[in-house]
Structure 1
Amino acid sequence: MFGMAANVGEEEATVSLVDVLEEDEELENEASAVLGGSDSEKCSYPEGYVKRQALYACNTCTPKGGEPAGICLACSYKCHEGHDLFELYTKRNFRCDCGNDKFGEMECKLYADKEKVNSGNKYSHNFFGLYCTCDRPYPDPEDEAPDEMIQCIVCEDWFHGRHLGCVVPDCVELQEMICESCMNKTAFLWNYAAHIAVPPMTKVSPCKGEEDVKVEVENDEEEKKINNEKPKSSADEKVQVNGTSACKRKHQEEAEGSSEEGCRLREMKASGWSRTLQGAVFWPSAWRTKLCTCTDCKVLYTDAGVSFLLDEMDTVLAYENKGKSTMQAEQAGGAEGRDPLMSALNNLNRVQQLEIIHGYNDMKTELKDFLQRFAAEGKVVTPEDIRHFFEQQQSRKRRRANTGQYYCS
């Protein structure tokens, strides 16, 4: 779903061979990572609410105006082949809906004994092919602006970068994002954002002089739960911060290195560091390990419905790594049964199999050699070059046919 639209100028656009090969490899790796973590043969329904899986929505069976529903990878292949599907990337804690009451008379071909409704599933406009605060499809035929789509790790909706209310930092693929709406619903996360989010936090107090500086501290419900105190009076809502030349480092060390007996969140609130409470927030790698795990904070996460933030294996990156490992293990073990090409070859006789494999290997080798010449010379590949290559392929194929070449078993 991460994608960047391309601007097209008046002249014919050209790309280098390196760009083509890198993009192709990136797309292949991404597909393997997302799909490799899900089973393409068996419906995931018996597994219950799966921790994370690749999901799809069927516009043919559950169009906009009806009940939203999600289907697993296997059902998208076996039960909804040829249908108009929306790719939802991945969702957490979801159970396959295929064949339940939302699909009318249609039954799941892979697992028939399903409950009428999966009450634990959460749905959004994504299940009707709509995304972001602009409530538009992706790709959007009416949107010519180059932009990328980024997923919020809490609501799992996808947003255009320009609609996040902030500047999207570089290397966004290495980070996680929480949209402004979800930040406001879990207001205590703003305290973490002031200390560990990307870009670096800003300080309300100047932290330059030797005099005391008064800093406002938010008196919200989460603070009352953490501190186990009665509501403070307005006079108590001030905290004195002694400003010194080393205070920035001191507060950061206290926030990141608090003792196990203390509450890290409470210390962050008392540090005086603040951040503008608007716009999406981007988080660096391994930021979840810096969240406080004291008893009171765990209750806070549960009440806010974000306990999954304490699970490092909840991340999409962890899921993708699992998918890559699964694919590599299958390839190393010779697990060819799930490969569509191998399945098709198994239905052919030995002679046909050898002919196809021979032709494929020939074309692969020749295409690689052909393109490597362009890469070595730093040239771009034009449509005429590609046409010339396949004309040569057809010419060689005709010569082999005329000579009566064949392969015996």
Structure 2
Amino acid sequence: MSDISASEYISRQDELEQEARELMPWEPKTCTYEMGPLKQSVFACRSHKNIGLCYSCSIQCHTKCDIVELFTKRHFTCDCGTERDNQEPGEEGFRCQLRKNRESDVPSLTNRYGQNFRGLFCECEKEYDPDSNDTMIQCVLGTECNEDWYHDSCMGKKIPPLESFDAYICWKCAKKYDYYLKRIISHPLGEKIVAHTLAHGVEEDKEDSKPTSGMKRSANEVDSQHNNDEYSIFLKEGFSEKLGELKDSIEDHNDKLYLFLNDLVPFLIKDEPVYEPADDGEDAPDDLVSNVLRNAMHREQAIAGISAFNALKMKLNEFLKPFAETGNVVKEEDIKSFFQRPEETSK
């Protein structure tokens, strides 16, 4: 261990606080259940029936649980403290520690649960690997795949360059809404909306497995190109604006394509805002470091770790105060003497 001045210690503590703000920028004080369905960050709890939690409940109510971050989901209501949540009540009998309800609330009937809530992603059905070099791409349509995420490597060697498209529609959703999407592709505005299409599950050496760049094509040509096989769609930058123009160009508001764009997938034209909790503002250093501990440690260790850290930090600050006031260097033997105190070694 090297010598360190009190000012250096304080500087390092400031760096830790900044890291905490970056990792967990919002105050986990409000459960979103009573706000109803939202586009929000969702966290799956694999310890309790693979339910979906809002940001705050994943931190405050399910601290000891096996949590998987799913990123954003549309039209989702927090499951914490509902009949879907089989976690035992806390010490005070609350089902949700933020809503403080003693009886389980009625769960949302519109929530949709795909494989992501079991911690699995992509066609390969594997867990997220933060050390992988793969790029994961979320399906922007998502009505059939539940907004799943896909590895670029699982899409095959013919995937177009990532910089050549802005959004992705998986083959599952494309198959579900094949009629509407082929009409979009063959529309005069289609070449300004679609960057590429890519046949799914086609052998790599086949010529028709190559991605096709966006161009004006008839519906028959699109059918012929893919031979009614499953295919994915890659959308151009600015596709939302052009889809809006396409919708507005349809005079018959009973037209199936108009109803599809206006009623079923309006988010492709105007994306829903993502709910974000209030910023953490000027949180106390203890709170910020606690957040880092929650993020870095196994959740079953977090509560004990945070409590011990806060107690130790308070005493260490008291010990270092004279050094900071005099500008003296804190030597290794000083730190050793601090931790050899009976009250510290018992921690």
Q: The TM-score by the shorter chain falls in which range?
A: 0.5 to 0.7
Quote the Cα distance in structure 2 between the aligned partners of 1:73 and 1:85. Answer: 11
Partner of 2:270: 311
- Name which structure has the greater RCO, CA cutoff 8 Å, separation 6+: 2
**Residues 121 and 150 of structure 2 are in contact (CA less than 8 Å); yes or no, is this contact kept in structure 1?**
yes
The unaligned stretches of length 5 or more in structure 2 are: 1-18, 89-94, 197-211, 292-305, 338-347
Partner of 1:152: 139
SS of 1:182's equivalent? helix
Give the TM-score normalised by the residue count of structure 1: 0.51
Partner of 1:170: 162
Partner of 1:287: 239
Whether 2:260 is the aligned partner of 1:300: answer: yes
Partner of 2:176: 185
1:87 corresponds to which letter in structure 2? E
Q: CA, structure 1 residues 29+350, in 2 after alignment: closer, same or farther (shift >3 Å)? A: closer
Q: CA, structure 1 residues 169+95, in 2 after alignment: closer, same or farther (shift >3 Å)? A: same
Partner of 1:217: 219
Superposed, 1:66-145 pairs within 5 Å as 68-104=50-86, 106=88, 107-111=95-99, 112=101, 115-139=105-129
CA RMSD of aligned residues (A): 4.4
1:217 corresponds to which letter in structure 2? A
Quote the Cα distance in structure 2 between the aligned partners of 1:146 and 1:182. Answer: 26
Quote the Cα distance in structure 1 between the aligned partners of 2:117 and 2:215. Answer: 41
Identity %: 25
Displacement of 1:139: 2.2
Q: CA, structure 1 residues 118+74, in 2 after alignment: closer, same or farther (shift >3 Å)? A: same
2:148 corresponds to which letter in structure 1? D
Displacement of 1:102: 1.9
Displacement of 1:96: 0.3
The unaligned stretches of length 5 or more in structure 1 are: 1-27, 63-67, 205-214, 219-237, 239-271, 361-392, 403-409
Structure 1 stretch 336-345 or stretch 110-119: which is displaced more? 336-345
Whether 2:213 is the aligned partner of 1:201: answer: yes
SS of 1:163's equivalent? helix
**Residues 298 and 307 of structure 1 are in contact (CA less than 8 Å); yes or no, is this contact kept in structure 2?**
no
Quote the Cα distance in structure 1 between the aligned partners of 2:267 and 2:322. Answer: 50
Quote the Cα distance in structure 2 between the aligned partners of 1:105 and 1:342. Answer: 23
Displacement of 1:302: 4.9
Give the TM-score normalised by the residue count of structure 2: 0.58
Quote the Cα distance in structure 2 between the aligned partners of 1:357 and 1:182. Answer: 62
Whether 2:34 is the aligned partner of 1:46: answer: yes
Quote the Cα distance in structure 1 between the aligned partners of 2:20 and 2:170. Answer: 27
Displacement of 1:216: 5.1
Displacement of 1:86: 1.2
Superposed, 1:231-242 pairs within 5 Å as none
Displacement of 1:47: 1.0
Superposed, 1:257-406 pairs within 5 Å as 276=226, 278-291=230-243, 292-294=246-248, 295=253, 296=255, 297-302=257-262, 305-314=264-273, 319=274, 327=279, 334=282, 336=284, 339-341=287-289, 352-353=316-317, 396-398=331-333
2:71 corresponds to which letter in structure 1? Y
Superposed, 1:14-33 pairs within 5 Å as none
SS of 2:260's equivalent? helix
Partner of 1:267: none
Quote the Cα distance in structure 1 between the aligned partners of 2:323 and 2:167. Answer: 45
Quote the Cα distance in structure 2 between the aligned partners of 1:29 and 1:160. Answer: 29
**Residues 194 and 214 of structure 2 are in contact (CA less than 8 Å); yes or no, is this contact kept in structure 1?**
no
- The count of corresponding residues between Structure 1 and Structure 2 is 256
